[in-house]
């Protein structure tokens, strides 16, 4: 579409890909980052980095040796058989202790490579795991559509038109797994020199990932009993309600995450300016970017729902979770940063409206 920020398109076979670069759909990461990430994952340089980080050359024949035992006594392979100390690389037969520090440039370079490799492995492993989970979820969705809907409709005596919420849940799971995978590529290239942005990124990513795991668990495990035997109508209604709510909440989490990343985590600036402000700011004075961020609740990573209220909660002073300002109990938004108040459920961590008495997600009562 004209003016659209995304190039993701869907083929008639349901395959999603980027129209601009031809790779798989990769929101919220741009095409340049995708190219760098794919090249990095297939680069021989990563093998070199692994060898540098986790092996040492035999002092005699220079063959790389990997330490796979706890002892520091190393023996080179045939035909060398040289025995040496892993820590100082000295001949083991003349070895005493090696607790004295020597500023060895090679050892420092090895430690630097090890840290680099461990950081890369962290992001690559999670990217690859979510890619694999996405493919598994796509296969599960196909099984739901071709097999389980018919079984469920027959057992629960329901037409398939009333079971579309299952397909919607699995479509959301597949899409969220794809997005979550690419957020790890985003995180790898996010500069460490900006800790505020990294903290916001990891918070939003963590909220979205937790929501996705709850949705995936519900769609995968809580459905199984209904496929085996008939349950009461109320039990099935409760399951449908929970899965539908989880689908909506997870969608909101990921929409907030994608919006924040595609905007370069610009909300960090508005949050910083809010925390140092000395005067209360009215909503009407907010610029469009701040208003959009407020409406989306990007930092909280939660969609605000309307629920029942009690005077006891409304009258309590409350601390703003964004800027820590202490507000009067009657205030519905923070007098300092103009954001709405929320409370985190002790059971599922869902962010509820400040005046809600029960959690919208798990229906547990709010703790005093």
Adjacent-strand bridge partners of 365: 358
For domain 119-265, the question of CATH label 1.20.120.1750 is answered with: yes
CA distance 64 to 52: 9
- Which pLDDT band, with edges at 50, 70 and 90, does 344 fall under? confident
Q: In the chain, which ranges are E strands? A: 8-10, 16-18, 55-57, 64-66, 73-75, 83-85, 318-319, 326-327, 342-344, 351-353
**pLDDT, tens digit, for every residue of 185-207?**
999 999 888 888 898 899 999 98
- What pLDDT, on the 0 to 100 scale, is given for residue 328? 75
User: Any bridge partners for residue 17, and if so which?
Assistant: 9, 24
pLDDT band at 325 (very low <50, low <70, confident <90, very high): low
The rounded distance, in Å, linking the Cα atoms of 310 and 355 is: 7
Q: 3-class DSSP state for residue 140?
A: helix
Q: What is the pLDDT of residue 213?
A: 93
Closest CA to 365 of 325, 312, 326: 312
Between 227 and 341, whose confidence is greater? 227
- The percent of residues above 70 in pLDDT, for the chain, comes to 66
Higher confidence at residue 102 or residue 331? Answer: 331
* % of the chain with per-residue pLDDT over 90: 24
Cα distances from 273 to residues 46, 92, 258, 298, 338, in angstroms, run: 41, 61, 23, 16, 12
Q: What is the pTM of this model?
A: 0.61
- Distance between CA atoms of residues 361 and 364, nearest Å: 8
pLDDT-based confidence at residue 300 (cuts at 50, 70, 90): very low
The yes-or-no verdict on residue 307 having pLDDT over 60 is no
The predicted-structure confidence for 197-245, as pLDDT tens digits, reads as follows 898 899 999 989 999 999 999 999 998 888 887 777 788 889 999 999 9
Can you tell me the mean pLDDT for 2-19? 57
Measured from the Cβ of residue 269, the count of other Cβ atoms closer than 10 Å reads: 14
User: Tell me, what's the pLDDT at 281?
Assistant: 39
Q: How far apart are CA 249 and CA 108, in angstroms?
A: 47
Place of tokens 């689908």: 247
Q: Are 323 and 334 a contacting pair, CB within 8 Å?
A: yes
Question: Which of 31, 71, 320, 323 is the catalytic position?
Answer: 71
The DSSP code for 162 is: G
- 3-state helix, strand, coil split of the chain in percent (to 5) is 55, 10, 35
Domain map of the chain by residue range? Answer: 44-93, 119-265, 280-291+298-353
With 90 as the cut, is the pLDDT of residue 40 above it?
Answer: no
**Residue 367 in this model has a pLDDT that exceeds 50:** yes
Name the least confident of 40-44, 62-66, 76-80. Answer: 40-44
More confident residue, 320 or 111: 111
What pLDDT shows up at residue 93?
83
- Burial code (b: 16+ CB inside 10 Å, e: under 16) for 321-356 equals bbbebebeeebebbbbbbbbbbbebeebbbbbbbbb
Q: Is residue 333 within 8 Å of residue 341, measured between CB atoms?
A: yes
Whether the CB-CB separation of 122 and 114 falls below 8 Å is answered with: no
Helix (H) or strand (E) holding 295: helix 288-296
Q: Within a 13 Å sphere around the CA of 83, how many CA atoms are in the beta-carbon half?
A: 6
Nearest Cα neighbor of 144 from 115, 123, 165 is: 165
337 belongs to the catalytic site: no
Whether 75 has a pLDDT exceeding 50, the answer reads yes
Neighbouring C-beta atoms of residue 49, cutoff 10 Å: 16
171 sits in which H/E element: helix 164-189
């Amino acid at each position: 579409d004209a003016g659209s920020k995304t190039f993701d398109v869907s083929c008639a076979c349901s395959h999603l890909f980027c129209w601009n670069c031809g790779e798989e759909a990769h929101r919220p990461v741009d095409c340049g980052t995708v190219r760098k990430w794919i090249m990095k994952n297939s680069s021989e340089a990563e093998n070199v980095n692994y060898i540098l980080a986790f092996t040492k050359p035999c002092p005699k024949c220079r063959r790389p040796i990997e330490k796979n035992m706890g002892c520091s006594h190393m023996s080179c392979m045939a035909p060398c058989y040289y025995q040496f100390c892993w820590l100082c690389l000295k001949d083991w037969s003349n070895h005493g202790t090696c607790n004295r520090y020597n500023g060895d440039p090679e050892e420092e370079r090895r430690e630097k490579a090890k840290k680099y490799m461990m950081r890369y492995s962290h992001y690559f492993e999670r990217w690859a795991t979510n890619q694999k989970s996405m493919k598994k979820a796509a296969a599960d969705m196909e099984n739901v559509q071709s097999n389980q809907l018919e079984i469920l409709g027959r057992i629960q005596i329901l037409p398939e038109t009333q079971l579309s919420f299952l397909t919607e849940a699995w479509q959301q799971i597949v899409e969220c797994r794809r997005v979550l995978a690419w957020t790890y590529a985003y995180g790898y290239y996010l500069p460490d020199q900006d800790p505020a942005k990294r903290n916001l990124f990891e918070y939003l990513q963590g909220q979205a990932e937790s929501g996705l795991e709850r949705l995936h668990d519900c769609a995968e495990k809580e459905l199984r009993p209904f496929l085996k035997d008939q349950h009461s109508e109320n039990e099935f209604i409760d399951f449908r309600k929970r899965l539908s709510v989880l689908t909506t909440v997870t969608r909101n989490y990921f929409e907030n995450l994608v919006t924040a990343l595609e905007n370069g985590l610009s909300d960090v600036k508005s949050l910083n300016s809010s925390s140092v402000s000395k005067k209360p700011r009215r909503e009407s004075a907010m610029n469009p970017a701040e208003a959009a961020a407020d409406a989306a609740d990007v930092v909280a990573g939660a969609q605000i729902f309307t629920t029942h209220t009690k005077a006891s909660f409304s009258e309590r002073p409350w601390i703003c979770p964004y800027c820590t300002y202490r507000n009067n109990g009657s205030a519905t938004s923070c007098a300092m940063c103009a954001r709405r108040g929320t409370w985190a459920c002790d059971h599922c961590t869902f962010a509820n409206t400040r005046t809600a008495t029960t959690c919208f997600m798990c229906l547990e009562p709010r703790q005093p």
